[in-house]
Amino acid sequence: MINTPPNPGNPYIGSNTEKGFGTLGGPDSVGTLTQMATCALKAAWFHKWMKDLRLRPEEYGSLVQANLTKSTPVPQAAAALHSDILNSAALPMIHSTYGSYLLPQAFPEGSPNHPCYPTGHGAVAGACIAAIKFFFDGSQKIRPLLTAAGRDVVVPSSDGLSLNTYTGADRDSLDINGELNKLAHNISFGHGIHAGIHFRSSTFWSILLGEQVALSVLRDRAKCYNEPFLITITKFDGTTATITNLGGVDKNN
């Protein structure tokens, strides 16, 4: 832990008689994260099967294979591929290496059997990050918090086997919000993009879907808190959102 202070809108800040625990405290934050994961996955599965049915990159590679090898019969979608993909410089490299135009996969068993969008990892990451911002002050600079705990900002070494102190010019301006945003993208990119089982756009929009799920859950839960509060978080796009149990407040800013 690096002792990040609570969100400035926490009603218990400065109180001499009360502290957050089951509401806006440690147990509440931990319990909320697990709730967010469940809600985000349910939203993702609704979009996967009931709304979008987006194909996987692996399936798209099969359409490329069918088109370029003139397989018979040619799937209708394969015949309608854009010329940009058919003329991609990557295709000859894939064919010379693997003997086909099928998309290489990191997983020997191939892609999961459910649709590509939304990514479960991305939706959960977006929802849980929004919840963390609700409980903690995301504007805090991260380096002072680390150095107070005897640590510093680090980056992976070139071989990925160790961590080196980060000396970039922006190291003192890095804040909690920025690091949380990077974490959400790294979770989904590391799982799906580099493995070849998700499109980049699926990851991006899944994170935003998870964020919206979290805001909806938090606004519903706000009515269950006794102490009046107004908490503002910075969203992934840089705009702000408000969660409150006060009446007459625009909650969509």
**The residue to which tokens 């809108």 are assigned:** 9
**The residue to which tokens 């939706």 are assigned:** 123
Q: Cα–Cα distance between 71 and 178 in angstroms, integer?
A: 48
Q: Catalytic positions, please?
A: 114, 121
Contacts 24+ apart (CB under 8 A), 88-97: 91/64
Enumerate residues 6+ apart whose C-beta is below 8 A from 72: none
Query: Which helix (H) or strand (E) element contains residue 92?
Result: helix 90-98
Instruction: Calculate the CA 211 to chain-centre distance.
Output: 8
Q: Pairing between strand 154-156 and 163-165?
A: antiparallel
Contact 57, 196 (CB under 8 A): yes
Contact 188, 125 (CB under 8 A): yes
